[in-house]
Amino acid sequence: MPRIRYLVITALLLNTGLARADIAMVTNADNGIDQLSQSEALNIFMGRYRKLPNGALALPIDLAPLKARFYHSLVNKDLAEINSYWARLVFSGQGSPPQQADSAAEVINLVVHNPSALSYVDAARVTPEMHVVLVLPE
């Protein structure tokens, strides 16, 4: 009986994992960064503290088609709230929002060519040249 229960739980877990497309936060594979905590990711993307665990200045990149889902799972805010947040920082001259990529291909290109780039893609679309440092469940 216990074995069957485990099987059922495993099946359920696998099922939810497949049904929901998580968001994978990715960096350049050669920058030595193993993983990132959610609060580090939040500090970088919200412009509070743009420091990577290896000490370098992080270059955050938003992926336009995935942006709404990303900020929803990172800080539980919708895009109007994110823009409102940035309006305060931009118009007080304190910083600027992440640069924006229009496609996953553009993200891959930026991540491959810049060791400080940090971005995100749909977890199902991670390619070998990217290194996943954090998975945000949706």
Residues that bind other proteins (CB under 8 A): 39, 43, 48-51, 56-59, 76-81, 83-88, 90-94, 96-97, 99-100
Q: How far is the CB of 83 from other proteins (least distance, A)?
A: 5
Q: How far is the CB of 33 from other proteins (least distance, A)?
A: 14
- Distance, in Å, from the CA atom of 77 to the CA atom of 72, rounded to the nearest integer, reads 5
- Distance, in Å, from the CA atom of 12 to the CA atom of 16, rounded to the nearest integer, reads 6
Residue placing its CB nearer to other proteins in the complex, 17 or 95: 95
**Would you list the DSSP string of 34-56?**
----HHHHHHHHTTS--B-TTSS
Residue placing its CB nearer to other proteins in the complex, 115 or 126: 115
- Residues in the chain, total: 138
Residue placing its CB nearer to other proteins in the complex, 99 or 127: 99
Q: How far is the CB of 54 from other proteins (least distance, A)?
A: 11
Q: How far is the CB of 76 from other proteins (least distance, A)?
A: 4
Residue placing its CB nearer to other proteins in the complex, 29 or 97: 97
Q: Phi-psi bin for 95: left (phi > 0), alpha (psi -120 to 50), beta?
A: left
Task: Write out the two tokens for 70.
Answer: 């990303």
